[in-house]
Amino acid sequence: MISEARDEALAEKAANILALEELQKSYDDLSRRHDELSARQNRLFNELRLDEGPMALRDVLPLARAWRPVIKGIGKTKRFWQRLIAV
């Protein structure tokens, strides 16, 4: 009876470790994608500097508005995974 409970606890622990590893991989991937998109966004805006770039403010603002939901969505998902892993 005790050995059955121990075996069950060990199996559950192993399953939890595997689940945690999967969560960590997902979080790392999401974090990397977020960093890549942020760098891409920064690069775009640096190329489109209002003072020196080829685009006027009226052209840049729609671009910023278009990227905002993508970056925010990834950020929200990243925070979700952080909270989930922290638990």
**What is the domain partition of the chain in residue ranges?**
2-86
Look up tokens 């121990």; give the residue: 6
User: Which whole number is the average pLDDT over 35-61?
Assistant: 73
Q: Residue 1: which pLDDT band, with cuts at 50, 70 and 90? A: confident
Q: What is the pLDDT of residue 23?
A: 92
Q: What is the pLDDT of residue 68?
A: 86
User: Which whole number is the average pLDDT over 27-35?
Assistant: 92
Task: Determine contact, residues 74/33, Cβ cutoff 8 Å.
Answer: yes
Q: Residue 5: which pLDDT band, with cuts at 50, 70 and 90? A: confident
Provide the 8-state DSSP code for 55. S
| C-beta pairs of 42-49 under 8 Å, 24+ apart in sequence | none
